[in-house]
Amino acid sequence: MCGIAGIVGAILTGVFADASLGGAGLAEGMTIGSQVWVQFVSVLGTLVYGGIVSFILLKIIDMTIGLRVSEEQETEGLDLAMHDERGYIL
């Protein structure tokens, strides 16, 4: 669900950019549909780029310092193991 508002807003920019809806107007020869398509392709490209870069960065981190804590730290609890304090006093 993260980013849904940004995605919808980016795509709908193609609609609300039209002068008849109060926007600055579309480029010459563009229709609302073609502008929405351009916005959709841009959003899709951004999602693919972000996914690939995130995957690469996570792989680099995993190979250097690792992404998981040890089983012992997991059993002890991360608040105590990582920060030396209790998150919940039960």
List, for residues 25-76, the tens digit of each pLDDT value. 888 888 999 999 999 999 999 999 999 999 999 999 999 999 998 899 988 8
Among 1, 84, 3, residue whose Cα is nearest residue 50: 3
Do the Cβ atoms of 67 and 57 come closer than 8 Å? no
Whether this model's pTM surpasses 0.95: no
Say whether pLDDT at 1 is over 70: no
pLDDT at position 35:
93
pLDDT at position 19:
86
Do the Cβ atoms of 82 and 68 come closer than 8 Å? no
Sketch the domain layout of the chain as residue ranges: 4-83
User: DSSP label at 29?
Assistant: T
Q: Rounded to an integer, what distance in angstroms lies between the CA atom of residue 44 and that of residue 51?
A: 11
Q: Rounded to an integer, what distance in angstroms lies between the CA atom of residue 81 and that of residue 61?
A: 20
